[in-house]
Amino acid sequence: MIITDTHTHLYSEAFDEDRDAMIQRAMDAGVERFFIPAIDSTYTQSMLDLETKYPKNVFLMMGLHPTHVKENYKEELALVADWLSKRKFYAVGEIGIDLYWDRVFLKQQQEAFVHQIRLAKKHKLPIVIHSRESFDQIFEILEQEKGDGLFGIFHCFTGTKQQAERAIGYNMKLGIGGVVTFKNGQIDQFLHEIDLKHIVLETDSPYLAPVPHRGKRNESGYIIKVLEKLSHIYGVPAERIAAITTENSKHIFGI
């Protein structure tokens, strides 16, 4: 059984004391593919180091995270464009809009999102979308940019069934992680109505640990709890969920 974690911040400081042991635990659990989203340029070297150490397992994205869109965002976007032009990445992400913390840089977040979508189209790459309290703003931009060149993953999907269907309509897979195990997560109420061909697995580790680890540091190996929950929701064996979602990830990332 090959499991793919389509979204894990393995370079996070939260793993500084046991990173290799944590990655080994995940591999022992069946996780063989780790897709690593970018945040900003301060993490780029750490990401490259991970790829060097785990070349058969770690696959990098490049992008500017919406919560890191600040006064210097144009410099950061220039670095994103430069990296995309000089080596292989598997997606542009994570990108999007986050209105949970504040709205001070909303305009700049919107500009950065559009700019990075167009970079993804230029390089024929998927996008990985971060959306927090911003579905309306995200969908407005996706409607503007829709077309064959627009595809990717709606990371950490926590919306309604209607929002799920709309996201799928923009050629997006739904990234399902620990939230599906939460009692108040709500997506478990309708997910069985969404075809598995639209689903990929993720952890977003070290964030959003699934039950029974909720509130603690998340790690990629905990994706097993997400897998078990989806097996229950869809009424099919976990091995089948792992196979389908890994195949879906291959369609998105091209590997």
Q: What is the pLDDT along the chain (255 residues), one digit of tens a residue?
A: 999 999 999 999 999 999 999 999 999 999 999 999 999 999 999 999 999 999 999 999 999 999 999 999 999 999 999 999 999 999 999 999 999 988 899 999 999 999 999 999 999 999 999 999 899 999 999 999 999 899 999 999 999 999 999 999 999 999 999 999 998 889 999 999 999 999 999 999 999 999 999 999 999 999 999 999 999 999 999 999 999 999 999 999 999
Cβ(134)–Cβ(155) below 8 Å? no
What is the residue type of 89? F
Task: For residue 156, give the CATH number of its domain.
Answer: 3.20.20.140
Count of residues in the chain: 255
pTM above 0.75, yes or no: yes
CA-CA distances (angstroms) from residue 41 to 75, 82, 138?
Answer: 10, 11, 23
Q: How many CA atoms lie within 13 A of 166 on its CB side?
A: 14
CA terminus-to-terminus distance, the chain: 17
Q: Give the separation between CA 70 and CA 47, rounded to whole angstroms.
A: 21
Q: Give the separation between CA 14 and CA 207, rounded to whole angstroms.
A: 10
- Tell me how many domains the chain contains: 1
Tell me which residue range forms the domain holding 45: 3-253
Sign (positive/negative) of CA torsion 52, 34, 14, 105?
Answer: positive
Q: How far is CA 92 from the centre of its chain?
A: 10
Cβ(209)–Cβ(9) below 8 Å? no
pLDDT value for 101? 81
Q: How many CA atoms lie within 13 A of 254 on its CB side?
A: 13
Preceding peptide of 237 cis, ω within 30°:
no
DSSP character at residue 127: E
Q: Measuring CA to CA, which residue among 103, 34, 86, 36 is closest to residue 63?
A: 36
DSSP character at residue 100: S
pLDDT value for 185? 83
pLDDT value for 103? 86
**Burial of 220 (C-beta count, 10 Å sphere; 0-12/13-18/19+):** buried
Preceding peptide of 37 cis, ω within 30°:
no
